[in-house]
Amino acid sequence: MSNNINANNLNTDSSSSPVNVPKMDALIIPVTMEVPCDSRGQRMWWAFLASSMVTFFGGLFIILLWRTLKYLWTVCCHCGVKNKEAQKINGGGDTQADGACKPTDEKEENVAAEVGWMTSVKDWAGVMISAQTLTGRVLVVLVFALSIGALVIYFIDSSNPIESCQNFYKDFTLQIDMAFNVFFLLYFGLRFIAANDKLWFWLEVNSVVDFFTVPPVFVSVYLNRSWLGLRFLRALRLIQFSEILQFLNILKTSNSIKLVNLCSIFISTWLTAAGFIHLVENSGDPWENFQNNQPLTYWECVYLLMVTMSTVGYGDVYAKTTLGRLFMVFFILGGLAMFASYVPEIIELIGNRKKYGGSYSAVSGRKHIVVCGHITLESVSNFLKDFLHKDRDDVNVEIVFLHNISPNLELEALFKRHFTQVEFYQGSVLNPHDLARVKIESADACLILANKYCADPDAEDASNIMRVISIKNYHPKIRIITQMLQYHNKAHLLNIPSWNWKEGDDAICLAELKLGFIAQSCLAPGLSTMLANLFSMRSFIKIEEDTWQKYYLEGVANEMYTEYLSSAFVGLSFPAVCELVFAKLKLLMIAIEYKSEKRESSILINPGNHVKIQEGTLGFFIASDAKEVKRAFFYCKACHDDITDPKRIKKCGCKRPKMSIYKRMKLACCFDCGRSERDCSCMSGSVHSNMDTLERAFPLSSVSVNDCSTSLRAFEDEQPSTLSPKKKQRNGGMRNSPNSSPKLMRHDPLLIPGNEQIDNMDANVKKYDSTGMFHWCPAKDIEKVILTRSEAAMTVLSGHVVVCIFGDVKSALIGLRNLVMPLRASNFHYHELKHIVFVGSLEYLRREWETLHNFPKVSILPGTPLSRADLRAVNINLCDMCVILSANQNNIDDASLQDKECILASLNIKSMQFDDSIGVLQANSQGFTPPGMDRSSPDNSPIHGLLRQPSITTGANIPIITELVNDSNVQFLDQDDDDDPDTELYLTQPFACGTAFAVSVLDSLMSATYFNDNILTLIRTLVTGGATPELEALIAEENALRGGYSTPQTLANRDRCRVAQLALYDGPFADLGDGGCYGDLFCKALKTYNMLCFGIYRLRDAHLSTPSQCTKRYVITNPPYEFELVPTDLIFCLMQFDHNAGQSRASLSHSSHSSYSSSKKSSSVHSIPSTANRLNRTKTRDSREKQKKEMVYR
């Protein structure tokens, strides 16, 4: 830049000038010795301004002139056309008309050709300046960037005088500014060509900016002068900042676009007004001969306008010129309005921006999971309490919550307390952008929580299914664990192509598991509490007093864990390993799972002696800590055989031998001769080709040569299967394997001793469903199972299950099939099935009946559970269990009122009084003693010796299990307990006694399934009675069970364990009941009967020596070896299927289910009149039915 000098330093040539220098100090401009500038200091600002004004008004005049001429030409042509049309109408000569039209047509064709050429050029220019193409976007962004560059040059030049003499060839900033403006001129031409309305284009803001910034640059080059002038108008280009960001796909939301718009308008207006004040204050008023100017920097003017807009006005900087003051008057009006409206809105938008709108940054070496769905304080606190429990190993997993609603203060405080492992982001899993923010593609799993208390369960399930679809669509390989409310909605998940339960995808159906838990409590009271505590992480609470809470809480501290078994157990049978682990390692193993080299798995629950442990077997343990379970992996016979303290069992230095299943089976035996491979000459290639199939079929079969040979032959016989190839493949999977375990436990049902009746069975009778897992009967009409009150009262019901259900036509279906299926499992013999009587609204039960009509021994009494007459009619005092359910989950403001019906029904039953019904029955006839209550069992039977069912004279002694929606309502069930209203559910007496169950306890299954998906498989196997993925697919197709013919393969599915209760006050274990040791009972039951004990159901006041004890019992999970037993204890156990029990109805010595399932003797239905007999009372009945009916009425 040339050096500017003051007028006082002018050369001597300027002294001879006639101009009076002292009077012209304000007019003298800086000049340089190299620039041939006006030595008299004459200002040339008018030349710069004139160039802009001439350009603007000249162009405007040309546009208006062109429009005027075009309008006149159009009017004249229109008149000529009208005259020609009039001539045609008047009948002018055709020849003349044709001659006149020819030149006109030629002109129109020329005009059309000309318009076509202009249109193509116009379209090309429009494409160049639009943001629809890559070239257009680049050009638009480049123009904006150069405009900001020109504004920056203005900021730099604003430190110089307003007008100065500069040499274009030496001034670098002027050269850059010139290059920018040349580009602006070319862009202006493109915009002008593409404009449809030239007049409006000429008056646009961007056009006015170009008029007053581009021509002065060219004048500067010509005059070798520089005038800041109106170059500050380039700041108006900032208004387009939001458009540029949208072109670059940076701004996507309406709030962000609005925020940038407001900020850009405010800042551009502010900077432009500051530029005008800077111009007039540094120049002065023209009519004052520029004498009243004041030196202000540009940034001082910016400061002046800000304090002016904010109405503060400190007075340290103010305008002196008339033009400046006049501008400030009008600017205060507009600037104050803009400041008062824009600034609050900008602050509001910034304040309302998503606080949790960032993106998750993955930490190297640390996994993370995404939790979405129903995110509330209750659901999150329950999830975190279990997921981050201290009993787990170090959880190196970060939890990312994604929800579209920002958390409230309580939930935010919860997140802050766990800030090291928890992050929250606001968004929706239905939005792929939000899924990318939480890095769903790198997440270890995605967990979807459901709203268990919603009014419309189907709508909630549909929402979660849509979440699964969205997540799987974004990343098909992600593992998803979702909660479902209704069982029938699980079928929709099978429609998602990328849903694969073999890869870890799981659906935790709350209705299925809740009703399954309740059904198991009908068979073994208190089991629901024990299982719920096993998969929930509970901290150990030590109590010194000798109360029932002490023993209960010691059991609550146990959880379910999995660990691989040490090689020291290889070759031992399951009972032997189970006994060794319990006695020496202080662990309880209830099942094993093996995963073959082809990743196919099978789970066996309490298998028999024939199962031998092999290398790589995974065990399922009940223990209080994950570290304790490590003993099963570290155990070494050489190092730990003589150790008595299990805490000393740690990792030793012995090498662990490893051998593949394939190699072990080859060394064990071959198919044909049963000899080892070393001695066998028939081990051909075809046999080797079947070895993989063998591994799938018998992964845990005995390694002895003789057993192996027999097993292999049985395996060959079982190859023809009714399953399709696709189902065979799935049948080898882990989730399906628990229910296919009977094939592994006893390879051929025809070879089982005492099972000869299978040979003589009627193959044409369908007694079980097509999978062989449940009892089945042909579909029955609901009218055939309906009992009136009088018919129910005349029917002798005993040892049955009464289901009190509240619901109406509008209530959501709760899926009663999930309650009935476990009670109709095929590992019960038909005469062991408990009759089920539903008491409730007939309209509601009609809606449920479609899923129940294939189950035997089901009756309905239309009525209400609050009616004592209905309850007495179904002999509720003789039932084995009374279940109270409610389908009315309406949105009630008061949470305590959600369970009002169930609580009222429970209190109503407990307050009822009854006669000595059992005594009356026994006095009438010993033959009418309900089956299972006689004492004819052999002394060596494990089920022998249960006392007769005690006479119930008060409803308080009736076994009841009540479903609750709100956990806090448990305080209303027992009036004699001292539970605090704020006590957690698992610490309350009704839950500990197994008389209350809430769906909230199932929340722990989410984290338990994530850490070990086998846990969910085991739980479902125990509580559902044997539901498999194949069965779920079948139900999804037909919504009902399909009957199937009895085949050896389906009958083998009956051979599976079930949960039962064992009494100690009589029978083969009576000697251990009085002060015996639990460990001795455990070992004896396991060795003698293959029964695996895992808990105690004890009277609440058993530790007291009071003569009249309370009949309530509580659960003790996994007592220690030296735990002392009392005669009144009931033992939870896993018992084997008894094939002999079904041979004769008269021989009930081994029909022990009723003995195990309750503290009372369980009995079957004496007589239930069929509807056919009721509708045809005049018809003759056979003598057998008559005798039975007469004896009943007697």
Cα 822 vs. chain centroid, distance in angstroms?
28
* Contact yes or no for 1136/1107 (Cβ under 8 A): no
pLDDT recorded at residue 893: 66
Residue whose C-alpha is closest to residue 885's, from 869, 910, 903, 897: 903
Q: Strands 960-964 and 225-227: what pairing?
A: unpaired
* Contact yes or no for 508/482 (Cβ under 8 A): yes
If DSSP codes are grouped into helix, strand and coil, which group holds residue 509?
strand
Parts of the chain with a pLDDT under 50: 1-36, 93-104, 106-107, 111-113, 659-762, 919-948, 1144-1194
Q: Strands 225-227 and 801-806: what pairing?
A: unpaired
pLDDT recorded at residue 85: 61
DSSP 1142: G
Q: What is the CA radius of gyration of the chain?
A: 46
Fill in the amino acid letter for 574. F
Delimiting residues of CATH 3.40.50.720 domain(s) in the chain? 367-499, 768-1001
pLDDT recorded at residue 732: 36
Residue whose C-alpha is closest to residue 565's, from 647, 655, 639, 656: 656
pLDDT recorded at residue 163: 76
Residue whose C-alpha is closest to residue 483's, from 509, 457, 463, 445: 509
pLDDT recorded at residue 504: 87
pLDDT recorded at residue 735: 40
DSSP string, 636-665: -HHHHTT---GGG----SPPPP---HHHHH
Delimiting residues of CATH 3.30.70 domain(s) in the chain? 1058-1156
Q: Give the H/E segment covering residue 961.
A: strand 960-964
Long-range contacts of 684-689 (CB under 8 A, 24+ apart): none
Which pTM does this prediction carry? 0.69
Residue 694 in tokens:
């063998």
Domain covering 367-499 in this structure, CATH number: 3.40.50.720
pLDDT recorded at residue 223: 81
Q: What is the pLDDT of residues 567-607, one digit of tens each?
A: 889 889 999 999 999 988 899 999 998 665 555 677 888 88
DSSP 995: S
Separation of alpha carbons 1021 and 735, rounded Å: 9
Residue whose C-alpha is closest to residue 837's, from 816, 818, 807: 816
pLDDT recorded at residue 398: 93
pLDDT recorded at residue 961: 95
Inter-CA distances, 1169 with 744, 788, 1165, 1178, 1180, Å? 42, 11, 11, 14, 14
Separation of alpha carbons 397 and 1011, rounded Å: 11
Question: CATH class for domain 1058-1156?
Answer: alpha beta
Separation of alpha carbons 553 and 992, rounded Å: 9
- Domain at 768-1001, CATH homologous superfamily: NAD(P)-binding Rossmann-like Domain (3.40.50.720)
